[in-house]
C-alpha cells in the first residue's frame, strides 16, 4: 500500500502494483495470444534492461508454443546507430548469440535484423562533412530520426514483408514504460500504447508494449529472479547488471539485493547507455565517466569521451563554423555561422582517425578485434566526396589525412575550456544575382564531363537528360547516398597514393574533381532521383571556386562582399529565415 501511495505522489498513475508473478503471467499471456493469432512477432532489442526483459518474455512464449507443436516465428531488430557506446555494442552482439542458441535448443525460428543509417546519414559523415552540427542542448535533436528511427522503420517494413499470412500483420514488441518519465508517459498516452492488445503508430505499424505498466523495480526484480534461476531465461543477465552497475557509479546494492533476495528497497540505477558522442546530455557524460573510473577495462573509452567533450566545449566558437551559406535564394547567399568550417572539419577527421588507429594498435596487442571504429572506409570516402561536392577542401583531402595517420601521424584531442556562449550574429547577405550560373564556364560545371562527352559519352556512365533539357552524367543511384564497400577498399589500398601524389596539391584543379572521380568509378552512388540536385551542388561549388569563396574563406574578406543590410529586400531575408540562418542546425544536403 505504501508503495502505491508513493507512486501516486510522483504522478505515476499508469503503473501496476501487482506482484512480479502476476505481471509476468499477464505479459506472457498477451504475447502468446499474438502467436496463436498467426502474427509474426519482432522484438526491438537495444540490450538494455527493458528490452532484455521483453526479449526473454517473447522467447519463453515461443519455447512454450514450440513444445506444444506450434511453429512460432520470432524476429529481433537492433538499431545500430554506428555511434553506440562500445560496451553496449559488444554486449548486444553477445546477447543476440545467446538468443539464437536458445531458439535452436527450443525448436523455434529466430531471425535477427540490424537497422543502421545509410552512410550519408551517419553522424560523423554529416558532422565532419560540414552538413550538420551535433545536436546540442536546446536545438533540434533530429539525429535520433536519422540514426535510429528511420532505419528501424525501414527494417520493420523488410521484416513485415517476410512470411506473414495475408492480412495478419507483424507485431513489434517494445519495452517502453509509463513510469520512466512524465514526458515518456505523455508520449505513450498520445500514441495509445497498451500492454494487452496491439496498437498502431502513425506509420501504420502494429506494436505491443507488454511491460508498459511495470516499474523499474519490477524490471530489476524480474532479471534478479532470472539470475537466481527462478525464471527460465536465454541469458544470465550478468552483463546487463555489470554495465548498469559500472555506468551508475555505485556498487548497485539494490540490484544485488534483488538478485539474492528479491527485495525492493530503493530505486535501482538507470544509467544512460546511448550514443557515446551525445552532446544534448550536457558538458559531461556521467555514465561514461563512471565506467572509465570504475575499472581499467573501460579505459579504452577515454579518447571517445574526450572527443565528445571537445565537441561540447567548442559549441560557441564561431571561428570553427562555415560563414558562407550553401543555398542561393532570390540572387543572394546568407552569411552567418552555420555548420563546421573547413578547418574544423579537417581537425575532427584527424582526431577521429587517430583514435581509430590507436584502438586498432591496442586491440592487436591484446589479441582482440577493435572494439569500435569511428570512421569506416565507406565513411571516409563519403566525407571526401561531400568535401569535394561542396568545395570545402582540396580534392582527396580526406585520403591525405587518412594516409598521414596510417603512416604514424597522431593528432590527440585537446582538452579545452568551454567557449562562452555568444549571441548569433545578425545575418548578412552576398548578392550573386539570378544569373550566377550563366557565362562561358557554365558548360564545364555541374554533373557532366565535356571532355569525355566529346569522345562519345561520360565514360562508363553515359548521359541522361533531365527535365528542362539539361544533360548530366548518368551516375549510379541507390535508395540513399551510399559507398560501395569493395570499391572503397580498392581505392584506399590501390589508388590512394596515386590520387594524393598526383592531384592533392594541384591548386589549379577543380575542387569537385574528387566527387567526379568517385561518381565515375561507381564508388559513390547518389540517392534515386537526385541527379538534378547533385548537378546544382556542383554548379554552386564551381561558382564559389571562381570567386574564391570555397575552402577556408577569410571572414573579413567575406563580410566585405556583403551588401548593406538596408539594401537587402525583406523577401530575401524571409526566404532565408527558416533555412540557412538558424545557427546551422538544419541540413541542406538531401542526396
Residue 369: in which H helix or E strand, if any?
none
Reply yes or no on whether the pLDDT at 7 is more than 80.
no
Tell me which DSSP letter residue 319 carries. G
Strands 73-79 and 199-200, by their bridges, are unpaired
Q: Which of 233, 198, 211 is nearest to 33 (CA)?
A: 198
The pLDDT of residue 452: 66
- Here the cell at position 566 is 538596408
Same domain, 477 and 352: yes
Last residue of a domain, one of 194, 215, 236: 215
Whole-angstrom distance, CA of residue 7 vs CA of residue 215: 10
**Structural domain for 391, as ranges:** 314-577
In whole angstroms, give the CA distance from residue 390 to residue 379: 17
Q: Is residue 523 part of a domain?
A: yes
Residue 43 · residue 173 · CB < 8 Å: yes
Which stretch of 42-56, 156-170, 252-266 has the lowest confidence by average pLDDT?
A: 252-266
Indicate the pairing of strand 332-335 with strand 109-115. Answer: unpaired
Inform me whether the pLDDT recorded for 580 exceeds 70. Answer: no
Q: Is residue 10 part of a domain?
A: no
* 438-459 mean pLDDT: 67
Same-domain pairing of 422 and 554: yes
Residue range 119-142: average pLDDT?
91
Look at residue 565 in the predicted model and tell me its pLDDT. Answer: 83
Residue 285 in any domain: the answer is no
Which single residue is written with the C-alpha cell 525501414?
154
Query: Does some domain include residue 309?
Result: no
pLDDT, tens digit, 9 for 90 and up, residues 228-279:
999 999 999 999 999 988 887 665 535 544 444 444 444 545 566 779 999 9
Q: What is the mean pLDDT of the chain?
A: 87
- Same domain? 397 vs 544: yes
Q: What is the pLDDT of residue 18?
A: 84
| Average pLDDT of span 477-506 | 94
Cell 506444444 belongs to which residue? 68
β partners of residue 77? 44, 113
Domain boundary among 215, 238, 266: 215
**Distance between CA atoms of residues 84 and 123, nearest Å:** 11
Spatial strand order of the sheet with 332-335 comes to 324-329, 332-335, 428-431
Q: Is 275 within the bounds of a domain?
A: no
Same domain for 200 and 331, yes or no, is no
Local confidence band at 454 (pLDDT 50, 70, 90 cut-offs): low
In order of 157, 443, 446, 463, the CA distances from 458 in angstroms are 37, 14, 13, 6
Say what angle helices 216-228 and 49-67 make with each other, to 10 degrees: 50
CB-based contacts of 48: which residues, under 8 Å, 6+ apart? Answer: 88, 175, 240, 273
CA distances from 554 to 264, 393, 428, 430, 576 (A): 62, 15, 15, 14, 23
Contact assessment for residue 500 and residue 405, using Cβ atoms and an 8 Å cutoff: no
CA-based nearest residue to 174, from 194, 158, 160: 194
Q: Residue 162 domain-assigned?
A: yes
Distance CA 380, CA 406 (A): 13
SS (H, E, C) 437-498: CCCCCHHHCCCCCHHHHHCCCCCCCCEEECCCCCEEECCCEECCCEECHHHHHHHHHHHHHH
CATH code, domain carrying 88: 3.40.50.620
Q: What are phi and psi of 206, to 5 degrees?
A: -100, 135
Distance CA 585, CA 567 (A): 27
Residues of the chain above pLDDT 70, percent:
88
- The 3-state DSSP class for residue 547 equals coil
| CA separation for the pair 144, 142 (Å, rounded) | 5
Pair (402, 509) in one structural domain: yes
Please, which pLDDT band fits residue 459 given cuts at 50, 70 and 90? low
Which of 180, 215, 250 corresponds to the end of one domain? Answer: 215
Q: H or E element: which one contains 376? A: none
Is 588 among the domain residues? no
CB-hemisphere CA count at 13 Å for 291?
25
Non-local (6+) Cβ contacts of 127 within 8 A are 133, 134, 339, 340, 348
**Same domain membership, residue 192 and residue 77:** yes
Q: What percent of the chain lies above the pLDDT cut of 90?
A: 67
Does residue 241 belong to any structural domain of this protein?
Answer: no
At 444, the pLDDT band (50, 70, 90 cuts) reads low
Q: Is 144 exposed, middle or buried (0-12, 13-18, 19+ CB in 10 A)?
A: middle
- With bands split at pLDDT 50, 70 and 90, how would you rate the model's confidence at 180? confident
Between 163 and 556, name the one with better pLDDT: 556
Domains: count for the chain: 2
Selected residue with higher pLDDT from 471 and 258? 471
Dihedral sign for Cα atoms in the order 464, 467, 468, 472: negative
**What's the pLDDT score for residue 437?**
82
pLDDT tens per residue, range 351-373 = 999 999 999 999 999 999 999 99
Q: CB under 8 Å, gap of 24 or more: what pairs does 89-96 form?
A: 89/371, 89/372, 90/371, 91/47, 91/239, 91/240, 91/243, 92/45, 92/46, 92/47, 94/239, 95/45, 95/47, 95/52, 95/55, 95/235, 95/239, 96/45
Helix axes 49-67, 86-106, angle to 10 degrees: 10
Find the range with the poorest average confidence among 276-290, 386-400, 428-442, 570-584.
570-584
Amino acid at each position: 500500500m505504501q508503495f502505491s501511495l508513493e507512486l501516486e505522489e510522483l504522478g505515476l498513475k499508469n503503473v501496476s502494483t501487482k506482484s512480479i508473478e502476476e505481471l509476468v503471467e499477464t505479459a506472457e499471456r498477451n504475447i502468446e495470444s499474438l502467436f496463436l493469432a498467426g502474427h509474426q512477432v519482432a522484438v526491438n532489442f537495444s540490450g538494455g534492461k527493458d528490452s532484455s526483459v521483453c526479449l526473454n518474455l517473447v522467447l519463453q512464449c515461443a519455447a512454450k508454443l514450440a513444445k506444444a507443436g506450434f511453429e512460432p516465428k520470432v524476429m529481433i531488430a537492433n538499431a545500430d546507430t554506428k555511434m553506440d557506446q562500445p560496451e553496449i555494442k559488444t554486449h548486444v552482439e553477445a546477447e543476440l548469440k545467446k538468443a539464437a542458441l536458445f531458439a535452436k535448443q527450443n525448436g523455434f525460428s529466430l531471425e535477427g535484423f540490424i537497422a543502421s543509417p545509410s552512410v550519408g546519414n551517419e553522424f560523423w559523415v554529416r558532422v565532419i562533412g560540414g552538413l550538420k552540427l551535433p545536436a546540442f542542448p536546446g536545438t533540434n535533436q533530429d539525429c535520433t530520426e536519422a540514426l535510429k528511427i528511420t532505419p528501424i522503420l525501414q527494417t520493420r517494413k523488410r521484416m513485415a514483408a517476410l512470411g506473414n499470412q495475408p492480412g495478419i500483420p507483424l507485431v513489434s514488441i517494445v519495452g517502453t514504460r509509463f513510469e520512466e518519465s512524465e514526458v515518456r508517459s505523455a508520449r505513450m498516452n498520445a500514441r495509445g500504447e497498451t500492454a494487452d492488445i496491439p496498437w498502431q503508430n502513425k506509420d501504420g505499424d502494429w506494436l505491443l508494449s507488454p511491460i508498459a505498466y511495470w516499474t523499474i523495480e519490477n524490471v530489476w526484480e524480474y532479471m534478479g529472479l532470472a539470475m537466481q534461476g527462478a525464471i527460465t531465461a536465454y541469458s544470465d543477465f550478468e552483463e546487463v547488471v555489470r554495465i548498469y552497475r559500472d555506468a551508475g557509479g555505485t556498487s548497485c546494492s539494490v540490484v544485488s539485493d534483488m538478485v539474492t533476495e528479491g527485495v525492493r528497497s530503493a530505486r535501482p540505477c538507470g544509467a544512460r547507455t546511448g550514443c557515446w558522442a551525445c552532446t544534448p546530455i550536457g558538458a559531461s557524460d556521467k555514465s561514461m565517466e563512471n565506467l572509465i573510473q570504475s575499472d581499467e577495462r573501460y579505459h579504452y573509452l577515454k579518447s571517445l569521451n574526450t572527443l565528445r567533450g571537445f565537441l561540447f566545449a567548442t559549441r560557441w566558437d564561431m571561428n570553427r563554423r562555415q560563414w558562407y551559406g550553401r543555398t542561393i535564394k532570390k540572387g543572394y547567399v546568407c552569411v552567418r555561422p552555420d555548420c563546421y568550417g573547413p578547418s574544423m572539419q579537417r581537425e575532427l577527421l584527424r582526431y577521429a582517425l587517430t583514435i581509430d588507429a590507436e584502438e586498432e594498435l591496442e586491440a592487436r596487442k591484446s589479441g582482440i578485434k577493435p572494439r569500435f571504429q569511428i570512421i569506416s572506409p565507406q565513411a571516409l570516402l563519403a566525407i571526401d566526396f561531400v568535401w569535394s561536392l561542396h568545395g570545402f577542401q582540396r580534392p582527396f583531402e580526406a585520403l591525405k589525412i587518412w594516409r598521414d595517420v596510417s603512416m604514424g601521424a597522431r593528432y590527440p584531442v585537446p582538452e579545452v575550456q568551454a567557449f562562452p556562449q555568444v549571441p548569433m550574429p545578425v545575418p548578412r547577405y552576398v548578392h550573386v544575382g539570378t544569373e550566377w550560373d550563366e557565362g562561358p564556364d557554365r558548360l564545364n560545371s555541374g554533373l557532366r564531363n565535356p571532355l569525355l562527352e566529346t569522345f562519345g559519352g561520360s565514360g562508363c556512365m553515359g548521359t541522361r537528360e533531365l527535365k528542362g533539357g539539361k544533360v548530366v552524367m548518368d551516375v549510379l543511384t541507390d535508395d540513399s547516398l551510399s559507398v560501395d564497400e569493395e570499391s572503397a577498399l580498392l581505392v584506399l589500398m590501390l589508388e590512394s597514393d596515386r590520387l594524393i601524389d598526383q592531384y592533392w596539391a594541384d591548386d589549379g584543379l577543380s575542387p569537385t574533381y574528387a566527387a567526379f572521380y568517385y561518381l565515375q568509378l561507381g564508388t559513390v552512388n547518389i540517392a534515386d532521383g537526385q541527379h538534378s540536385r547533385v548537378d546544382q551542388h556542383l554548379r554552386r561549388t564551381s561558382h564559389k571556386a571562381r570567386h574564391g569563396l570555397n575552402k577556408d574563406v577569410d571572414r573579413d574578406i567575406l563580410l566585405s562582399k556583403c551588401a548593406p543590410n538596408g539594401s537587402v529586400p525583406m523577401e530575401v531575408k524571409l526566404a532565408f529565415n527558416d533555412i540557412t540562418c538558424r545557427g546551422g542546425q538544419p541540413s541542406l544536403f538531401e542526396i
